[in-house]
Each structure stands twice: as C-alpha cells, then as structure tokens.
Structure 1
Amino acid sequence: MRAKITKMLASAIVVAGVAGFAPAALAASCDTDRKIDIAEMNWPSAAALAHIHATILEKGYGCNVEVVAGDTVPTSASMLAKGRPAIAPEMWTGTIQEAWDKGIADGAVKPAGLAISDGAVEGWWIPKYVADANPDLKKVEDLPAHKDLFKDPDDPSQGRFYSCPPGWGCEIANAALFEAYELEESFNLFSPGSGGNLDASIIRAFEREQPIVFYYWGPTAIMGKYDMVQLEMPAYDAEVWNCNTDSACTPKRKSAFATPPVVVATSSWLSEEAPMVFEYLGKVSLNNVQISQMLNWGAENKAGAKETAENFLKTEQDVWTSWVDAETAEKIKSAL
C-alpha cells in the first residue's frame, strides 16, 4: 500500500511539474539575443506603429529592441542588402516593387502580414472647395490650364505642386509623373523637406480655404479630417510603374499609383531566429478607421509618435491584446 501511495505521489508530482511548465512553454519569448531594430518611418502612422511594436516586443517578449530612423527607399535598400533593420512596420512596396519582389525571391526579406487590412490609397489631390469652384479641373491633364490658381509664391509665373519629402519612395514616382505629364512648363515640383512640413502646408491651405494641389496618401489624420478630391489618372499599369520608379528607365509615362498591399516587412533572418516574433507580426493588421482614430488623437493632442503609441496601447487594449497570448498581454499592461 505504501509503495502504491509513493507511486501515486510521484505521478502527481510529474503531472504537476508538466502543468507548471506548460504556461511557460506557451508564453511568448523573443527566441533571439540579436538586437531587433524597428524602422520608424518618417510619416505618422508608420512612426506610431514602430513604437507600438517596440513596446510589445520589449515588454511582452523580452526582446532587445531599438527604434531607428527610416524611409521607404533607404530602409528597403538596407533590408535587402544588410538584413537591417529587422522590421519595417508599414512598408509601401509599390514604389520599390521590382526590388522588393526580387528581395523576396532571393530570400532577403519576408512580409509577415498586412499592415493595413483594407488597403491604402495614394494620389494627387485638391481641396473639395477648389474642385467645386473649378468643375473643369478633374484630371492631372487639366492642371496646366489652372497654373495661376496654384501660384508658386517664390515663382508666380509657375504653379506649385507639393510633392514628397526627400527619401520617400513617392518622391521618385512624383518626379516621373511630373515628367510624363510635361508639367515642368507650368508647375514647379516643390519638395516640402519633411512629412511635417507637407502636413503643415496642407493644413494651412485648408484652414484658410486657399488653393493647393499636392501628393498625399491614406489612411492619415489629415485625409480623415479634410474633404479632398483626387485628380484622375489613367489606370495603373505595372510595366509603366516599374519604369517610373526606376530613375534609369525612360521614357516616363502616365499611370495611376500602384496600390499593392501595405505590409509588415521583415528581414528574412527574423522568421528563422525569432519565429514567435514573426508570428506576432502576422497578427498586427489595423484597418483605416483604427489607424485614422489613432492619428487623430495624436494630431489633436500634438503628440509625438511615442506618445501616440502609448495612448493606443492604453486605450485600445481590446485590439492589441488579440495579437498576443494572455500572459504576454498582462506583462505589457503592467509595464504601461
């Protein structure tokens, strides 16, 4: 009888031990000692997402994380050539499509999943009040006839088109379209210098109800706040677009912007060395409304990317806790 009891106790200890270790086995972990650098792209949504993922990976997964500065072209080039940064939370692949596709084929990069679940939009825009007052201004081809409406304050003989800041993929695409539409004779291609300056120029024009023609994208706080109209372009043509985004390719031709999925981009080593992190990144998709709400809070409170991310983590727990297991979620909540 004593032997039987001893055997039963031993079995119970084994079962208890297994049960005790089970949660630890299931709990999220970083799996790698290598530093995970996350690109903070130079636009609000991507910057906020970088800090959201940095907090979750550091506080929940125990990763060694660093947020680094980035933009579409230099970040993608570095990921393809050097495997750094490890993560780009919002990669718009349309302006780097050929290089991106080759990088996937070569095994240099790997998309973890969608960053924006219901897609994104890019194009050239005017305020609705400008469109209403100028019903003949519907297409990009109509711009030369309206150059005086959009006078460049530094060169009144020309109109001003507000393009992308240096280093953004859309800078190359806009320059190509400018050439394809032969707008150099009537418009100056104006670089705002930074995403913040572009936003400020657009906001100032809308608040004063002044004419402005500009490149922009969504989801963004500005697109959600102001009523704007997209100028028409011919349908997207992949062959044309690939040439337009290659500075060495000629001639430049007319095409709407590519609208491929906006992905969470990773250097391929991440999925091999940190599979749980890669799995997490496959769950983090947000829709346009969620991103716009996050950015609107940031804009209204004049908050930076890190503050905007902290607010999202504190107020949208129903959203982000679905990306992680319960134990990891509690670690993150405790750290906030």
Structure 2
Amino acid sequence: MIFKSGGIAAAIAVALLTATSHSALAQDADTQATDAASCGTDKTIDIAEMTWPSAAALAHIHAIILEKGFGCSVEIVTGDTVPTSSSMLTRGSPAIAPELWTSTIREPWAKGLADGNVVELAPAITDGTVEGWFIPRYVQKAHPDLKTVQDVIAHPELFRDPEDGSKGRLYSCPPGWACEISTGALFEALGMKDKGWNLFSPGSGGALDASIARAFTREEPILFYYWGPTAILGKYDAVQLDLGPTKPEVYECNTNRDCDKAPEVTAYPSSPAVVGAASWVKTDAPNVAGYLAKVGLTNAEISEILVYGDENKADAAATALNFLKTKQDRWTSWVPAAVAEKVKASLN
C-alpha cells in the first residue's frame, strides 16, 4: 500500500495525539488515586482512646490505618465520654471519637450536631449496643421454655445461690456502676425477692467476669447482667432474655436513685454508639471522613476482636495489630487499594 507524505504525517500526528491523551488519562487516574490515598490535611488528627476495651482497640486500629495508610499525623489521646465530647464540642479536639456512646450526652451532643460543631460519620456498632440479662445457651437447650426473664424467675431452683441453696442468684453489677442501679430496680419491679431470689453484687468487674467464666467452664446454670460488645459475650455462647418492650421514661427512672416513682419493668435500651468527629475533619480531611464513614462493625465482630485481647492479655495496640493482620478481608474494604498496601507493608 502506498501513502502520500502528507498522509503519513497526519497518521503519525494522530498516533502521537492518541498516545499523549492515553498518557494524560493515565496520569490523571494516578493523580486521583494518589489524592484519594492521602490524608488531605497537615493538622494532627488526635483520636480519643476511651477507657473501655472496644473503644480503645478501635482507636488504635484507626490510628494505624490513618498514619501508615493515609500518611496522616496522628496522636492518640486519653478520653472518656463526657470530657471527650465536651472538648470536641468546644475546641474541635480530639478530632475523632471512634466509639462514642451518645445516650449519656444526649442534649449537648444534639446541640453540637445542630450547631455544626460535630458530625456523626457512621455507626461505630452497626447493630447497636447490647445490655440485658443472660443465661448460657446450654441451659436454654436443656430447658427450652426459658425465653423471657419471667420464665427464668419462675425457676430459682435452676440457678441456686452457692451461699444459700434455697434461693436463686442473679449476678448484678459492681457497686458504683450505673447498671447496679438499673438491675436492682428491675429486681424490685419483678418482685424477685419474694419469688426466691438473691441479688448478688460482685466486688468488681473482674469478679463478675470470673463468676461467669467459672459457670460456663463447668457448664453450670447462671443468670447474669451483662453488656456488649465485650470479650465475655464474644467468648461464651449466652442467650439474652426477653424483658419486654423498652420504656425510655421508666429506664431513666430506674437508673436514678433519686427518682420517687416505684421501679417498673423495662428492657434496656440500645445505646447509640457512633464515630463522632469534630466538624473540621469532614471539611479539611474529606478522605479521612470518607474512610471513617465505612468502618462500622457489628457487636459480634467487635466482641471477637476483644476475645483476642482477653485471652492473650494484650493491650489495645496489640489487639489492634492482631485485627489488622488477621481480618484483612474486612478492613481493606474500608480503604483504597493503595492505602491497604501501605498498611499491609507496615505490618510486616
């Protein structure tokens, strides 16, 4: 085939233009990928490490991903619900609270959201927190009729008090805990004392855990208050008993020693647990905000994380590293591929 010189030049020009266009598109794609994998802010992102295990582990998980994957400057700071939220609302710091239970700060938090001082980026616990009374599943299998609290109350002989064999025992919370008040109120509202039950208050959270662990290890019956996500509910197959509908006004009174109304029966409400953030995170670091919008975990998933920490006596940082190493199929879905590779490289 014969081409005129002008035709050859035109063909070369078209080819060069096409190649240049493809190169430019590739560069644009690379730039967009890099931008999506960058922190987007020079500000230090301080993350509140709350005092309970699940929130502490989540703080370290997010700190590692943001620092090693997105290249953020990250600092973990000590936190707790009230002081953390108060500082976030007034000072914009800490930047992130990975597991903020907003039920105890309902009014100021709602005002902060309305005023634009803070944002909720995602549910931290996607299926809500758990709180209630539990029995082992092996007990329910042996007695399938035990489904509600009232069912159990009718059989104190199945849950004998080790110190008073003529009565059943309900394991409550340690002195000073809010759940000690609410459990005691339900004990009274259900008339359990007159039905052959003792209310047992363990000396500490560790003592309560030890009593539960001992019962499950020996496959003995036990009726106990507990909450989740926790290592205990991740480790042991417990069944939550039906307490009927949740009545917020009743629950509020049941948790207030100064309430002058008689206790009534109500289920425990599921407290919202969110990824809370100062509003500047969403505007100044949209990649960080976008990442945190995807990080919700279920009760069971968080409890599983905590089982490792409990069984290996691992701190929050070690527990976080174990999650990142063993659950890569889970957390890599939260981030761009470039971020995931950087985090994986840091783990080695």
TM-score between the two structures when normalised by the length of structure 1: 0.75
Hey, what's the Cα distance between the residues in 1 that align with 2:260 and 2:86? 22
CA contact (8 A) 2:254 2:264 kept: yes
User: Secondary structure at the residue paired with 1:271?
Assistant: helix
Residues 146-166 of structure 1: CA deviation (Å, up to 9, x unaligned)? 49933579xx99956331686
What is the alpha-carbon root mean square deviation over aligned residues? 4.3
Residues 273 and 241 of structure 1: is their aligned pair in 2 closer, same or farther, counting only changes over 3 Å? farther
Counterpart code for 1:57: L
Residue 218 of structure 2 is matched in structure 1 by 208
Aligned length: 323
- Amino acid corresponding to residue 44 of structure 2 in structure 1: R
Work out whether 1:125 is the aligned partner of 2:134.
yes
Bigger radius of gyration, 1 or 2?
2
Q: Give the Å deviation of 1:123.
A: 0.6
Code of the residue aligned with 1:139 in structure 2: it is: V
Query: Partner residue of 2:52?
Result: 42
Of 52, 58, 77, the match for 2:61: 52
Q: In terms of mean alpha carbon deviation, does 122-131 or 48-57 score higher?
A: 122-131
Write the distance in 2 (CA, Å) between the matches of 1:203 and 1:83: 42
Aligned to 2:178: 172
1:263 aligns with 2:263: no
Once the two structures are superposed, the pairs formed by residues 107-256 of structure 1 within 5 Å of their partners are 107-128=116-137, 132=142, 138-139=148-149, 146=156, 149-150=160-161, 161-163=171-173, 171-179=177-185, 181-182=187-188, 186-190=198-202, 192=204, 194=205, 196-210=206-220, 212-244=222-254, 250-251=260-261, 253-256=264-267
d(CA) in 2 for partners of 1:215, 1:298: 22
Q: What TM-score does the superposition give when structure 2 sets the normalisation length?
A: 0.73
Give 5+ residue unaligned stretches, structure 1. none
CA contact (8 A) 2:120 2:276 kept: yes
Cα deviation for residue 106 of structure 1 reads: 4.1
Correspondent of 1:319 among 310, 314, 330: 330
* 1:27 correspondence with 2:1: no
- Does residue 104 of structure 1 match 2:110? no
Secondary structure of the residue aligned to 2:226 is strand
Distance 1:22 1:207, change over 3 A: closer
For 1:68, the equivalent position in structure 2 comes to 77
Q: Distance in 1 between matches of 2:184 and 2:83?
A: 23
Corresponding residue SS for 1:175 = helix
Q: Cα distance, 1:231 vs. partner?
A: 3.6
| 2:99–2:276 CA contact under 8 A, matched in 1 | yes
Partner SS state of residue 212, structure 2: helix
Task: Name the SS for the 1:117 alignment partner.
Answer: coil
**Percentage identity across paired residues of the two chains:** 45
- Partner SS for 2:55: helix
Which moved further from structure 2: 115-124 or 311-320? 115-124
Paired residue for 1:86? Answer: 95
Answer whether contact 1:94 1:258 (CA < 8 A) is retained: no
1:233 positional shift: 2.0
Deviation (angstroms), 1:52: 0.9
- Give me the whole-angstrom Cα distance separating, in 2, the residues matched to 1:285 and 1:143: 36
Instruction: State the shift of 1:54 in Å.
Output: 1.1
* Runs (5+) with no aligned partner, structure 2: 1-5, 7-12
* Alignment-derived partner of residue 291 in structure 2: 280
